[in-house]
Copies of this chain bind each other. A is one copy, B any other.
Amino acid sequence: MSAGESRVLAAAVELFSQRGFHGTSTRALSEQAGMGLASMYHYFPSKYDMLVRILDDVMTGLFSACQSALVRASDDPADRLDAIVRAHCDFHTYRQKESFITNTEMRALTETDRRQHIAARDRHQRMFDAVVLDGVERGAFLTPYPVEASRAIVTMTTAVANWFRPKGPLSPAEVADRYAILALAQVEAVPPARTRAGRPDEKKEA
């Protein structure tokens, strides 16, 4: 990505997250990016192209973060769920603005782009489904509703981007700790998430 391109994208992320896609003018974008309209259009032919790019980057980044987490995790179902939930959660706190835009601006996509975006989300959801279903098959998770539990886990962790505030009260690592435990409870992991993770207050993780 060129420096100019990333300046425009940073401006778009900032303004779309503050004012929404429809509430952001191209003039405001060019001011925020510190370049003229013509230069900006050189990188992105329209405001809409910026939005599509942000959403694409989020889905790609999220997918690969969660995949890497699974590659590094052990074969234990609870470890795998813990790892994928932390990766998903971290993405939504560290890249909160982009994630928030992705959560709130799907409506602004054209029919075709929306369909593609939903396909990417479905693919992501299936990665979680596979982890949960594997845990159920192996007797590590007792939930009678693995598919719904998996969707609930993705939904609640995705929503972190809607309320997380970088200035606190919780750090990204603390949020990830809690959501990992909530996810294990949601699938009724054996032993319970609580005893497995130790007393939450004693836990310290980077």
Contacts and interface: CB of A to CB of B under 8 A. Distances in A.
Interface of A: 20-23, 104-108, 142-145, 148-149, 151-152, 155-156, 159, 163, 178-179, 181-182, 185-188, 192-194, 199-200
Contacts of A144: 181, 194, 199-200
A142 B182 contact: no
Nearest to A189: B185
A26 to B, nearest CB: 16
8 closest pairs, A vs B, by CB? Answer: A152-B156, A20-B107, A155-B159, A144-B200, A155-B156, A145-B178, A148-B178, A185-B188
A99 B104 CA distance: 15
Nearest to A199: B144
A28 to B, nearest CB: 16
B107 A22 contact: yes
* Tally of this chain's copies: 2
A164 B151 CA distance: 13
B182 A152 contact: yes
A193 B192 CA distance: 13
A156 B151 CA distance: 8
Nearest to A19: B107
Given A104-B106, A152-B156, A152-B182, A194 B142 contact: yes
Contacts of A23: 107
A194 B159 CA distance: 26
A149 B22 contact: no
A185 B145 CA distance: 11
30 contacts: A20-B108, A21-B107, A22-B108, A104-B104, A104-B106, A104-B107, A105-B107, A107-B107, A142-B192, A143-B185, A144-B181, A144-B194, A144-B199, A145-B182, A145-B200, A148-B178, A148-B182, A149-B182, A151-B156, A151-B163, A152-B152, A152-B156, A156-B156, A182-B186, A185-B185, A185-B186, A185-B187, A185-B188, A188-B192, A188-B193
